[in-house]
Amino acid sequence: MKIKKFEDLPVWRLSLKITRDVYDLTSKKTFARDFGLRDQLRRAMISISSNIVEGFEKENNNEFIRYLKIAKGSTGEARNQIYIALAVGHISQSEFNSVNNDLLSLRDQISRFISYLVTQRKKGNFKNK
């Protein structure tokens, strides 16, 4: 299946789902008042989906790979922040486990997508405008 728009990308759809979950968590009473951590976590989540989209829209696979790597880095940043949220009591262990598992899955999907694009480059099936 040829991907024609970023909305077709499974990694983007998963990032959007996790972002909705994070917004729900960070809207809860104690978390909502921790403006620094709340905003930093939200920014990290926004960065993930935004970098996926920006890389896709560049229509250049070298750039797409670069932006996917940035998005992958932001999954690590978000994971660190939910560890902090757990440590200070803003989220429960089960909430942490759910978001962390989703972020790990997203990180792995992004990694596999990067590997696929690199393989296509080596085969000469690489879009580079």
Domain range list for the chain:
7-123
- Report phi then psi at 91, rounded to 5: -135, 155
Kindly give the confidence (pLDDT) of every residue in the chain, 129 residues in length, as a single tens digit, with 9 standing for 90 and above: 688 999 999 999 999 999 999 999 999 999 999 999 999 999 999 999 999 999 999 988 999 999 999 999 999 999 999 999 999 999 999 999 999 999 999 999 999 999 999 998 776 655 544
Say if domain 7-123 classifies as CATH 1.10.10.10: no
Q: Look up tokens 């920014």; give the residue.
A: 43
3-class DSSP assignment, residue 21: helix
Q: Please tell me the pTM assigned to this model.
A: 0.91
